[in-house]
Each structure stands twice: as structure tokens, then as C-alpha cells.
A and B are shown apart, each in its own frame.
Chain A
Amino acid sequence: MRHVAHLGIGPVGFRIGSDWRGPIAQLETLYRDYPKPSIPDFSVHLFAARPWRKYLRPSVMIGGDYTIPDAAPLPLAQGLLAAEMGMNLQMALAQRRYLLLHASAVERDGKAVLMTGISGAGKSTLAALLMARGWRLMGDEFVLIDPATGLAHGFPRLISLKNQAIAVAQAAMPEGRFGPLLPGTPKGDIRHLVPDARAIRAMAEPAQPALLLFPRFGFDAAERPVPPSEAFVRLTQSSTNYVHLAERGFDALTRLVQSVPARAIDYPDTDSGIALVEALA
């Protein structure tokens, strides 16, 4: 690979290679304050499907230590997104040290609030806005639960803001560092937000899970407790490696839902969403 970047996110190191300079330059700019572990946990590479596709209508294939067959290529303009997807893919397919929850998380006073839900529930948006209000961002995509300690480890990669959330986050964080606007991706418009200095500085510090939230955007404000049984089932669905971890995964998840209160919250707009989270935490 001609162009290579190393970066560490939370407890995980990546090596990213690319046939093109562009995506690596963007990663190096946006991740400039992140550590650069010399021996990574996973490798990702972005490559042209055919040699001439490097130049002619360039399209980016995502490769790596672990891949799924038939993944669709992205246009070179979305190379940054391809790199992020490649890193997520390694985590989803092969992370076995931690129980992986598809969730965002923020921390205050050593206590972590975990937010999980379907795409569009507002995980990333809520996490970004809570960061703007002084919470430590632990991540907007994955939370890593250590089966040995029950502690949550952060994975604060770039925050992936989609569609309307982009303007909301820009209004809340006029000083924030944003990546290029990526219009027309498979998930609509995407713009990445760099986690603040505190999130990056503290990214190796785990936190005690204190609250599990299942947010839903676009409904009248409401809140109800979620019993451990329901939380368990919902979290098995939002974990990419629960089945592979087998008994360790079951023990970690049982411990989490039995020791941490869970709430489902509906919110009509981000202001009331933030108010609900802060009232519960």
C-alpha cells in the first residue's frame, strides 16, 4: 500500500493503507491528536477493484484482516467514510476481547451513560451534544464491556453525524472541528466531528456503567423503566459479538443488565432529549 496511517482509538490500534493519498491525508488531519501505536490490532486497506479504477472513475473497495464478501465500493470522495467503515468492520467481525455494544456513551464523575437504539434513534447526536455540555465522550458507535471487570471502555472515533444532525451539532459547537461534508452516502449526508481534547486525552480510561438508555427520536417526550430481561434481549441484538463470546458474553451482559438501571426515553427534539438524559443521569 502506498499510503499508510496508524491510529489508536480507545484500547484498539489500527493500520490503514490506501492506494490513494486523499483518505489517508484526511485521517491524519482529523485524527492528528490520537496516538499512533506501532503494532496495530487490525489492518484495513482501501484499494481499487481494478488497476485502472485507481484513476478512472476511482472507486474504493474496503479490505482488511476481516471482510465481508460483496461489500459495495464507495466513490473516492467518500474515502474517509470507507476507512471508518473498514475500522468498524474489523471491530464488528473480530473484536473478541470485549463485549461489543452498538451504542454511544458519555461519562461524568467516572459513571458512564450508555445509549443504544436503531439507526436514527439519535445515539450520535445525543452523545455529541452531551459532549458540548461538558460530558466526556466515550464513543458514538461502539462501547466495549470488559467481561473480566464489567467496566465500559470507550472507542471515541470520529463522531458520525448524519443529515439534520449536522446543522444541530454545528450550531451547538461553532468551534468544533468537522471533517468534509460527504453528500449522498448510503446513509445520506455525513459529516464527521472530531471528539474534543478531553475525550481524546481520557480515551484509555474505562468507566463504570451507571445507566442504560434506549432513546427514540421523533415521539412525544416519555420515559419508562426497562426491566433487565428486556434490556438483555435488546442488548443481545445490538451486540455484534455476543454469540461469539459465548459464556463470557452471557456473563458480561447478565451482569450489566442486573447491576445497571435501564430506561427507554422518547423525545421530540434534541433539547428535550438532552434534558431527559441529564435528569436521569
Chain B
Amino acid sequence: MTPGWRLAAVLRDPGRTEHFSARQWTELFAVARAEQMAGTLAHRLDGLDLHPTVQRLVDDAIASAGQVRLAALWEAEMARRALAPLGVPVVLLKGTAFAAAGLSPSLGRNIGDLDILVPRERMDEVEAALLAAGWEWVKPDPYDDAYYRRWMHELPPLIHRERDRMIDVHHTILPLTARIRPDAGALLADSEPLENGLRTLSRTDLLVHAVAHLLADGDLAGGMRNLWDFHCLVQDGGTMGLAERARHHGLGREMARAGRLSHALYGTEVPFEWQALKPLDHLYLRRLTARDGWGRQGRRLTRLGFYVRSHWLRMPPLMLARHLWTKYRKGYRPVG
């Protein structure tokens, strides 16, 4: 069993660690840290009869994740205050949403940037209000800035000059250049209010977004964590209505694949038709678990394949060629 697979196995069944060697423990934490899942792992292990050194690592990771959660919720509150006068619906996404709504993926989860979803026709007002409240542009490159504004599903990232925290303002959940066009209006219309006036996506749309993020966008980097989100959300609320909602957003195939991968990797309870892997799924699993005992990414060719695929999904061929050529001339190299 490879170190990547072993992390998945422990997340699925923490009791497996009972006869772990020192080396296996060491590799487990190295992989979990590389996948940004140290806090998640720690919460899974806490309560077992652990070696004192391991218990110390667990305690540190839990305390650290608690602080990350507090800072993320505070950042959401800062955005709420900045945007409240506009009367715009503000939907929290990803990690911050899980924490704010008390959903189980948030347990120990690392939360980086603040991601929010607002109606596209209100983006200019939102941007102006954030700039007035102390957020600033990060991307100094005019090509990147123009690219974001024309083709992406979000504003170019903003960073707060005092708190040094990033915010991503989305108007939908996939780039405008992608072949799949989720129904952003429905995401907003069916979102649910939190006590503080912010909102989260509906139960099924949380899963739709998790799947879009994991399988219809990006190169599967950080995929173990994103798939763990999927697993936890399904454990929380089941799969009722899921396939239908995913089809509505054009993500029926991706939803089914996420179900199969999550079942294979984490043992998620899914409908019968998602329980048997299809041939291509093995390549996805190979990519997801590509970590050695030092947390290093192996399997360069598989990763390069998924990197190319991520761009293939994201834009038409001619545009892709132009984009990669521009980025190459600027010195960017994939898979370092």
C-alpha cells in the first residue's frame, strides 16, 4: 500500500493505525500535511490510544485547525460588514461555508482564501465595496487581470492590506470558457440563509460545487481533500436528489465519477450504480494518491496528463494554445 492510499485508509478507518510502525506514522503525517489534511487526520485519530509523540502531533494539529477556523469565520464577518450596505445576497463557498454551517467536512479542515458567490450583475458594486473596505489587487500582470475579467468565474483575487487574507469573488462555479455551464441563478435562488445574514448553497448544490471543483476544473491537485469534503457531505445528508440536481447543472457524469471515487477511496455509502469503478477511474485514483512517504508528488506523467486535461476542460483548443504560449513566454512551467 502506498503512503497516499494509506492516508485514505486511515481517514476511512482510524483503527488501522493500531499496529503502525514509527515509519508509517511519520509518512502518514508527511502525506497528510502535503495534502493539507493534517487537521482532518488529527480529528479522526483523536480519542484513540496513541503514542505520546503522535498524541502531541494530533493536539497541535487540532489546535492549529481551530485557529484557522476562527480566522476564516472572522474574515467572512469582515466581508459581511463590507457588503451589508449593498443588500446583495452573499453565499459563502467551500471551507468557510462548511465551518459557518457546522458541516462535518469542516472538522480540522484547512481553510485558505475566503470564497464567496454573488450575482454576476452586482459584481461591480461588490468589487467597489471591497476596494473601499481595504482589499487590494494581487495580480499585477495585465494579461492575468484581463484574462480573469473576461473568461473566469471570479474576479481576480483581492487581498486585504491589513489582514493579509485573500478573497475570491465568484459569480458562478466554473470558468465561462468551460464546456459545462452550471446554472448560477439556481445556485443563488436555492441558497440558504445563515443566522448572520450570509448564505450557503443548498445541500445538493454544496455537493455539486465540490464535484465541479474536483472533477470539472483544475488538475486534481489537493484532490484527496476535495474528495473528503464530498465524502463528508454525503455522510451528512445522503445522496437523495443528487444525481438529478447534478444533471440540471450539466455535471451528471462528474457527480457519478465523484461518487465512485469516493466510494473506492473512503468507503462512502453511495447508490449501487456508483459502487463499481469504470476503467478510467483508476487513472484518477492514481493521480489522487500520488504522494510518497515524504509527501512528494510522484507520477509526473499522470500529473502532466491531468494538467493538460484541466486546460482542455477549461477552454477551446485554439484559445488553449494561445493561453499556454503566452504563459510559457512569461516563464511559467507546469509540473515543477
Which A residues form the contact surface with B (CB < 8 A)?
A: 1, 13, 15, 17, 37-41, 43, 45, 47, 63, 65-66, 96-97, 244-246
Contacts and interface: CB of A to CB of B under 8 A. Distances in A.
Interface of B: 22, 25-26, 29-30, 33-34, 51, 53-54, 56-57, 60, 63-64, 67, 70-71, 294-296
Nearest to B163: A243
Contacts of A1: 294
A148 B64 CA distance: 16
A15 B140 CA distance: 39
A47 B295 CA distance: 13
B53 A13 contact: yes
A96 B294 contact: no
Nearest 5 pairs between A and B by C-beta?
Answer: A38-B22, A65-B33, A39-B53, A96-B64, A39-B22
Contacts of B63: 96
Contacts of B29: 65
A43 B60 contact: no
Contact of B294 (A17, A39, A66): A17
Contacts of A66: 33
Nearest to B22: A38
A43 B27 CA distance: 9
B296 A45 contact: yes
A148 B296 CA distance: 35
Contacts of A40: 26
A37 B34 CA distance: 22
B296 A244 contact: no
22 contacts: A1-B294, A13-B53, A38-B22, A39-B22, A39-B25, A40-B26, A41-B56, A41-B57, A43-B26, A43-B294, A43-B295, A45-B294, A47-B296, A65-B33, A96-B60, A96-B64, A97-B60, A244-B64, A244-B67, A245-B67, A246-B67, A246-B70
B56 to A, nearest CB: 8
B290 to A, nearest CB: 16
Nearest to B21: A38
A37 B53 contact: yes
A39 B33 contact: no
A89 to B, nearest CB: 13
Contacts of A38: 22
A45 B294 CA distance: 8
A15 B28 CA distance: 13
Contact of B71 (A37, A43, A96, A246): A246
Contacts of A65: 29-30, 33-34, 295
Contact of B30 (A43, A244, A246): A43
A97 B53 CA distance: 13
B11 to A, nearest CB: 18
Contacts of A96: 60, 63-64, 67
Nearest to B68: A244
B294 A63 contact: yes
A13 to B, nearest CB: 7
A151 B51 CA distance: 25
A236 to B, nearest CB: 15
A65 B60 CA distance: 15
A244 B34 CA distance: 19
B332 to A, nearest CB: 13
A2 B335 CA distance: 23
A245 B66 CA distance: 11
Interface centre among B53, B71, B294 (most CB of A within 10 A): B294
Contact of A63 (B22, B25, B296): B296
B107 to A, nearest CB: 18
A97 B25 CA distance: 20
A39 B60 contact: no
Contacts of B25: 39
A57 B297 CA distance: 24
A247 B29 CA distance: 27
B48 to A, nearest CB: 15
A45 B33 CA distance: 14
A174 B70 CA distance: 53
Nearest to B51: A39
A41 B38 CA distance: 12
A43 B3 CA distance: 15
Nearest to A66: B33
Contacts of B53: 13, 37, 39
Contacts of B57: 39, 41
Contacts of A41: 56-57
Contacts of B34: 65
Given A39-B53, A43-B30, 9 more contacts: A37-B53, A38-B22, A39-B54, A45-B294, A96-B64, A97-B56, A244-B67, A245-B67, A246-B70
Nearest to B59: A97
B138 to A, nearest CB: 14
A150 B244 CA distance: 57
A57 B140 CA distance: 35
Contacts of A244: 64, 67
A169 to B, nearest CB: 34
A88 to B, nearest CB: 17
A246 B29 CA distance: 24
